[in-house]
Amino acid sequence: MSLPDAILGTLRAVLPAAPFTPLHEPEFRGHEWDYVKDCIDTGWVSSVGAYVDRFERDLAAACGTAHAVAVVNGTAALHVALELAGVEAGDEVLCPSITFIATANAISYCGAVPHFVDIEEASLGLDPQALERHLEQIAEQTADGWRNRLTGRRLAAVVPVHVFGHPVRMAELQAVAARFGLPVIEDSTEALGSTVNGKPVGGDGLLGTLSFNGNKIITSGGGGAILTNDPDLARRAKHRTTTAKKPHRWDFVHDETAYNYRLPNLNAALGCAQLERLDDFTARKRTLAGRYADAFRPLSGVRFFEERPGTTGNYWLNAILLDDAEQRDPVLATLNDAGFQSRPLWTPMHQLDMYRACPRADLSVSEALSGRLVNIPSSPKLADAVAS
Ligand SMILES: *Cc1c(COP(=O)(O)O)cnc(C)c1O
Q: What is the share, in percent, of the chain residues with pLDDT greater than 70?
A: 99
CB under 6 Å to ligand 1: residues? 73-75, 99-100, 102-103, 161, 187, 189-190, 211, 213, 224
3-state secondary structure of 116: strand
Nearest CA to ligand 1 atom 5: 74
Read off the pLDDT of residues 191-245 as tens digits, 9 standing for 90 and up.
Answer: 999 999 999 999 999 999 999 999 999 999 999 999 999 999 999 999 999 999 9
Q: What is the mean pLDDT of residues 369-380?
A: 97
Closest residue by CA, ligand 1 atom 7:
74
Q: What is the pLDDT of residue 386?
A: 61
- With beta carbons less than 8 A apart as the criterion, state whether 164 and 188 touch: no
- Quote the pLDDT of residue 207: 98
Query: What is the helix (H) or strand (E) element at residue 4, kind and residue range?
Result: helix 3-14
Span from the CA of 216 to the centroid of ligand 1 (angstroms): 9
Mean pLDDT of the 28-54 span: 94
Q: What is the dihedral of CA 296, 299, 305, 310, to 10 degrees?
A: 80
Task: Give the DSSP H or E segment for 117.
Answer: strand 113-117
Q: For residues 257 and 97, what is the distance between their CA atoms, to the nearest angstrom?
A: 31
In which band, very low, low, confident or very high, does the pLDDT at 40 lie, cut at 50, 70 and 90? very high
Query: Which atom of ligand 1 is least distant from the CA of 190?
Result: 15
Q: Give the distance (Å) from ligand 1 centre to CA of residue 72.
A: 12
Q: Which residues pair with 145 in a beta bridge?
A: 142
The whole-angstrom separation of Cα 261 and Cα 98 is 26
State the average pLDDT over residues 288-306.
Answer: 97
Atom from ligand 1 closest to the CA of residue 216: 1
pLDDT at residue 387 is higher than 50: no
pLDDT at 64: 98
As a whole number, mean pLDDT of residues 97-111 equals 98
Query: ∠ at Cα 149 (99, 174), nearest 5°?
Result: 45
Ligand 1 atom with least separation from CA of 161: 13
d(CA 178, CA 323): 36
Confidence check: pLDDT of 140 > 60: yes
Distances (CA, A) of 308 to 204, 220, 267: 18, 29, 34
Q: How far is CA 232 from CA 85, 178, 207, 245, in A?
A: 12, 21, 12, 17
What is the pTM for the complete model shown? 0.97
Cα(136) to ligand 1 centroid in Å equals: 30
3-state secondary structure of 344: strand
For ligand 1, atom 2, name the residue with the nearest CA: 189
Q: What is the mean pLDDT of residues 368-374?
A: 97
pLDDT digits (tens, 9 = 90+) for 215-230: 999 999 999 999 999 9
Q: Which residues of 284-311 are buried (b: 16+ CB within 10 A; e: fewer)?
A: bbbbbbebbbebbeebeebbbbbbbeeb
CA of 112 to the centre of ligand 1 (A): 19
**Closest listed residue to residue 322, CA positions, set 355, 292, 300:** 300
Residues 6+ apart with CB under 8 A from 83: 110, 240
CB 202 within 8 A of CB 188: yes
Half-sphere CA count of 38, side-chain side, radius 13 A: 15
pLDDT of residue 47: 82
- Asked if the model's pLDDT at residue 385 lies above 90, the reply is no
Distance CA 316, CA 258 (A): 33
To test the pocket of ligand 1, the residue of 159, 190, 194 to mutate (highest count of ligand atoms within 8 Å of its CB) is: 190
What percent of the chain has a predicted confidence (pLDDT) above 90?
A: 97
- Who's near 18: CB < 8 A, 6+ residues apart? 339
Spacing, Cα 100 to ligand 1 middle (Å): 6
- pLDDT tens string 171-198: 999 999 999 999 999 999 999 999 999 9
Mean pLDDT, residues 112-128? 98
CB 270 within 8 A of CB 32: yes
- Mutation pick for ligand 1 pocket among 100, 161, 201 (CB with most ligand atoms within 8 Å): 100
| Span from the CA of 363 to the centroid of ligand 1 (angstroms) | 22
What's the distance, CA 3 to chain centroid? Answer: 30
Nearest to 124 by CA among 93, 82, 169, 157: 169
Pairing mode, strands 155-158 and 145-148 = unpaired
102 CA → ligand 1 middle, Å: 6
pLDDT at 345: 97
Which of 287, 361, 292 is CA-nearest to residue 320?
292
In this prediction, residues 70-94 reach a mean pLDDT of 98
Distance CA 100, CA 349 (A): 8
**pLDDT of the residue at 388:** 47
Average pLDDT over residues 278-286: 98
* Calpha distance 221→271 (Å, rounded): 8
- For residues 62-90, average pLDDT: 98
